[in-house]
Amino acid sequence: MTDISPELLTFLMLAGVLVGVLLGYPLAIPVGAMGLLFGFLVYGKAVPNLLYGRVFNLVHSYTLLAIPLFVFMGVMLERSGIAEKLYDALYVWLSGFRGGLAVTTVLLGTILAACVGIIGASVTMLAIFALPAMLKRGYNKALACGSVCAGGTLGILIPPSIMLVIYGPMAGVSVGKLFMGAFFPGFTLSALYCGYIAIRCAIQKEVGPVVPAEERQVPFATKTVMLMKALLPTAILIFAVLGSIFLGIAPPTEAAAVGALASMGLAAAYKRFNFQVLKETVTQSLHVSAMIYLIGSLSFAYVGVFIGAGCGDVIEEVILGAPGDRWGAFFAIMLIVFILGFFIDWIGIVFIMVPIVAPIAPILGFDPLWYGMMLVVNLQMSFMTPPFASAIFYLRGSADPALGVTMSDIIRGVWPFVICIIIGLALCVAFPQIILWLPGKMIA
């Protein structure tokens, strides 16, 4: 065992992870290495038992069992054909407005968010269906790309969200209440995105032209039936999962199982369900879930060493010492999370930072649910802020090369939506009931 001051240990452990990530190693490697190295320095031979206990407790968490089930549900819905039908229905309703296709893209992302909950799946689907439709009709590339990234990332906020499933156990907050608390912030961001698109296209008419009349001459009754046929199965699925949680019928894990089963039924109804689809869905679900559990278990072990060595107290003292009383401390936390989003995947941020900063909420006098949702909304920006920015890379990788979309187009397109998220955070600060109202109506 080595006598290292908590302040020096805090710096070394955090710097070690950041350096490892910047060198290009997958997050699990530097996190696991730092936890093991400094665990031996602080605890000596007792560290294997400590780390094993932390890993064991995490992977046996009943709440986190919802992760593979929600992933399965999202992947199965990706293959069900639901995105095409929803896009076609929204297209005929909104394509007659300036910026209508970009608004359609955001709305489709919002609807998919309540079904899929996986960033990669949502952004990829929008890149395949929405991006070509916009560019073919003369939309500005940056606006089109930004709409796809912004709409696709709503899946990590609007329930059923994998991020919320992970945040709950890490912070000791009810996942069900987090689900309900996330709805209105998610819809607020969606409205801000649509508002930005509408205002910009009204000012710069060339960036989002109206679709030619001959392409949207669909009788009112026909397009109404199209919309109902597309929305009804989706609404049933959403109610089956989230309605059971809201009404107190089932906790998130059981609701996730219901959603997984319902997604197979929806795929079968659209005649997309077969053994090959089931095999691919299970395989991808295993890959995604295994990655989350690997990062999570090693991060949880790392945090055990970090907090046990007194580093959590060091972070707490630094944050509480920020100028501006409790709001100064709150904004310091938000700034730290925002900066980390440039370099580290959201999974690592949640598993590492939440156990450290979540206990500060009651000290500052904030509602833990509101405080947690503010962190989650903040993390929306991490998907669109380079160099990490996973949504940008998902779009770049899935966009048809023939469209001529460049990385510059995507980056220029996402920044206005990042500003929209900052505005959304400000609204949630000014009006906390945006987050707290719906959870207060839940049936226990």
**Burial class of residue 71, CB neighbours in 10 A (0-12, 13-18, 19+):** buried
Query: Are 280 and 245 in a shared domain?
Result: no
The reported pLDDT for the residue numbered 6 is: 87
Please give the mean pLDDT across all residues of the chain: 88
Per-residue tokens: 234: 């989706």
Query: Are 236 and 279 in a shared domain?
Result: no
Residue 217 identity:
Q
The answer to the question of residue 124 being in a domain is yes
The answer, as to whether pTM is greater than 0.85, is yes
- When pLDDT is averaged across residues 412-434 and rounded to a whole number, the result is 96
Query: Are 266 and 279 in a shared domain?
Result: no
Residue ending a domain, choose from 255, 289, 306: 306
For residue 61, pLDDT beyond 90: no
- 151-153-155 Cα angle (round to 5): 95
The answer to the question of residue 96 being in a domain is yes
The answer to the question of residue 422 being in a domain is yes
Residue 441's pLDDT band, with cuts at 50, 70 and 90, is: confident
Domain that holds residue 31: 1-60+274-306
For residue 412, pLDDT beyond 90: yes
CA dihedral (294, 300, 301, 303) in degrees, to 10, reads: 140
The answer to the question of residue 318 being in a domain is no
**ω before 185 within 30° of 0 (cis)?**
no
The answer to the question of residue 5 being in a domain is yes
Query: Are 43 and 97 in a shared domain?
Result: no
The reported pLDDT for the residue numbered 2 is: 63
Query: Are 145 and 247 in a shared domain?
Result: yes
Query: Are 192 and 56 in a shared domain?
Result: no
The reported pLDDT for the residue numbered 62 is: 84
For residue 271, pLDDT beyond 60: yes
Query: Are 123 and 192 in a shared domain?
Result: yes
Query: Are 33 and 71 in a shared domain?
Result: no
Q: Please give the residue that has the higher pLDDT: either 272 or 216.
A: 272
Query: Are 135 and 245 in a shared domain?
Result: yes
CA-closest candidate to residue 360, choices 426, 313, 425: 313
For residue 200, pLDDT beyond 90: yes
The answer to the question of residue 132 being in a domain is yes
Query: Are 93 and 155 in a shared domain?
Result: yes
Query: Are 150 and 280 in a shared domain?
Result: no
- Separation between Cα atoms, residue 334 and residue 122, nearest integer Å: 26
The reported pLDDT for the residue numbered 154 is: 92
The reported pLDDT for the residue numbered 243 is: 83
- When pLDDT is averaged across residues 45-72 and rounded to a whole number, the result is 82
CB 434 within 8 A of CB 185: yes
- When pLDDT is averaged across residues 100-124 and rounded to a whole number, the result is 86
